[in-house]
Chains A and B, each alone.
Chain A
Amino acid sequence: MSLDWSIFCRSTTGNTQLAGCLGQNGELSYLQWLLSAWGWTATVALLGFIIALVIGVVIGTLRTLQSTSGLSPWVSRFAVAWVELFRDVPLLVQVFLWYHVAPFFLPSLKSLPSWLLVSIALGLFTSARIAEQVRAGIQSLPRGQRDAARALGLREVQVYRRVILPVALRIMMPALTSEAMSIVKNSSVAFVVAVAELTQFAMQAQEETARGIEIYLAVTLLYALTAFAVNRVLAFIESRVQVPGVGALARQGA
């Protein structure tokens, strides 16, 4: 059994090999389809991560509010409920809920494209995980930081905005990197709700070409490359925002 990589230059609508691996006038090669599928994987993952990051930071922060902050204790209870809700239900089930069950109660959701629904599902699922990391980051700070900020006369919002969050978010960068890489891989669940991403491409193309090994190898490589690229980007950001003496890098002595 030898590998035959020429299938990636074959037309997806006929049995001809395409010159230069690219089709003309709407005809596509399997390579072009693979790249378009990669684009969908990246889109869903990126959008999901943005949603997760924004909501995760807010919910994680709310979970750490002290009773002295003057906010209703229901705010913090809501944050706890949020985390448990999205953390206790399997991701695949959540995707189905958003796609099949939610539109039953909110018919307007039906008009949303499936890639957006999957991004929301992925984003909310991951937001619960990021919220916990934000909470861990905040609670890892010495109490003195908060007390000192309060002693300076800062209001609760200012304490978080100026003192706690800038340090806590730096501390949680390694965990955040891990989440960002996970969401790339978790985006593969999108295939169950008709998003033409990498996993869906693999399942369909291997059936059409009878070249499953080459197809799955290529898809595996693209997932790994994407996750690794995310890792490098976030490692770069981590090193750029580093404050001397603060955060994970500082503790390693870097």
Chain B
Amino acid sequence: MALLGSMLGSSGLVLADTLQKIASSGRITLGYRESSVPFSYLAGPRQPIGFGVDIYTHLIPALKRATGRTDLEVNWQALTSQNRIPLIANGTVDLECGSTSNTAARAKTVAFAINYFYTGPKLLVKQTSGVKDFEDLAGKTVAVTTGTTTMKLLRKLDLERSMNMQLLSGKDHADSFLLVDAGRAVAFAMDDILLYGQILNAKQPAQWQVVGTPPQVEPYACMLRKDDPAFKRVVDGVIADLMRSGEFERIYAKWFLSPIPPRGRSLNLPMNEALRDNLRKLSDQPAS
């Protein structure tokens, strides 16, 4: 029976009881990202750190209690944007706390724990640009990264407000940043957390600022398998406890308001309204 279970597990027809799987194998496989600063990234070879990894640290004792395995072993599995959903769904990875957006479309394939971060598109501009918000972009050239939903959002804004923006598509975030740095675009529009990450790596961080009111916000949450209520209850329970006890805010401050590896610079990103609200609401729902 156990053999059958593991065969099914690897073929995509997943036995959805993760707790039972952990109890019988004594192992849990946690996903990490190689460069999703500060959520989940590598500080040294095979040593993931970050906001999401700290959540794991609090989760392990709870899992040991729930499964009765005090000898619980952790396997680490690197994930990318492309493979994270299939690997959770087919049972290779049990949980991913990284920078994954909780969306209604994804909820058809996987489940999400309580939302633990909120991001929305803002604008990365030079201090001298004079751009303060999205409406200042009328008639200007704006950089945005190919393959992101932000580009669609900008097109919509452009159409609705007849702004006559020129969109310039960078092939990745670093390229979009370069477009603004080289003066080919006045602003780089992207989820704010990614923009703060760009400033972190900039040659002259003081030259840059993130401005604007996000037209919409999107939650990030830990991702787990669908239809596994027992496991989700344990994960949600740990996150809810952290949020109620104030420990969550301490973890937040550690990763978003203090100097972090590898450069020892701080993102200086205060907790936004949406996340502060969710410390009370404890919602696991996607953005409407």
Interfacial residues, chain A to chain B (CB-CB below 8 A)? 12-14, 26-27, 100, 103, 110, 114, 191-192, 194, 196, 200, 203-204, 207-208, 210
Q: How far is the CB of A27 from chain B (nearest CB, A)?
A: 6
Whether the pair A207, B148 counts as a contact (CB closer than 8 A) is yes
Question: Are A194 and B168 CB-contacts (below 8 A) given A110-B182, A204-B146, A207-B149?
Answer: yes
Known A100-B178, A110-B184, A204-B146; judge A12-B169 contact (CB<8 A). no
* Cβ B179 vs Cβ A194 within 8 A: yes
A-B pairs, 7 with minimum CB distance: A13-B156, A207-B147, A194-B168, A13-B159, A194-B169, A203-B146, A208-B152
Q: Please, which residues of chain B bring their CB within 8 A of the CB of A194?
A: 143, 168-170, 179, 184
Q: Does B183 contact A (CB under 8 A)?
A: yes
B147-175, CB under 8 A of A: which get 1 and which 0? 11101100110011010000111110001
**In the complex, which residues of chain B have a beta carbon less than 8 angstroms from the beta carbon of A204?**
146-147, 151, 169
What are 6 A-B residue pairs whose CB atoms fall within 8 Å in the complex?
A13-B159, A13-B160, A26-B159, A192-B171, A194-B143, A208-B151
Separation in Å of the A32 CB from the closest CB of chain B? 12
In angstroms, Cα B288 to Cα A152, docked, is: 84
List the B side residues contacting A100 at CB < 8 Å.
178, 182
Q: From B168, which residue of chain A is reached at the shortest CB distance?
A: A194
Q: Which residue of B lies closest to A196 (CB)?
A: B169
Contact between B152 and A200, CB atoms less than 8 A apart: no
Q: A110-B183, A210-B105 are in contact. List 17 more A-B contacts (CB 8 A).
A: A12-B152, A12-B155, A13-B155, A13-B156, A14-B156, A103-B182, A110-B182, A114-B184, A194-B143, A194-B179, A194-B184, A196-B169, A203-B146, A203-B147, A204-B151, A207-B147, A208-B149
Chain B residue nearest to A33 (CB atoms) is: B155
Tally of contacts, chain A with chain B, CB under 8 A: 47
Q: Which residues of B contact A191 (CB under 8 A)?
A: 146, 169, 171
Residues of chain B within 8 A (CB-CB) of A12 are: 152, 155
Q: Which residues of A contact B169 (CB under 8 A)?
A: 191, 194, 196, 200, 204
Q: How far is the CB of B190 from chain A (nearest CB, A)?
A: 14
Chain B residues whose CB sits within 8 angstroms of the CB of A103 once the complex forms: 182
B residues 85-138 touching A (CB-CB < 8 Å) = 105
CB A13 to nearest CB in B, in angstroms, measures 4
Give the distance to chain A from B191, nearest Cβ to Cβ, in Å: 14
A210 nearest CB across to chain B (Å): 7
What chain A residues lie within 8 Å of B183 (beta carbons)? 110
Interface string of B184-202 (1 = CB under 8 A from A): 1000000000000000000
CB proximity of A15 to chain B, nearest CB, Å: 10
- Give the residue name and chain of the A residue nearest to B169 (CB): A194
Chain B residues near A13: list those with CB within 8 A. 152, 155-156, 159-160
Q: Which residue of B lies closest to A210 (CB)?
A: B105
> Whole-angstrom distance between the alpha carbons of A13 and B182 in the complex?
29
CB distance from B91 to the nearest CB of A (A): 21
Instruction: List residues of chain A with CB within 8 A of the CB of B184.
Output: 110, 114, 194
**In angstroms, how far is the closest chain B Cβ from the Cβ of A216?**
13
Complex contacts, A200 vs chain B, CB 8 Å: 146, 169
Closest to B155 in A: A13
Q: How many angstroms from the CA of A208 to the CA of B169 in the assembled complex? A: 14
Which residues of B lie under 8 Å from residue A110 when comparing CB positions? 182-184
B143 CB contacts on chain A under 8 angstroms: 194
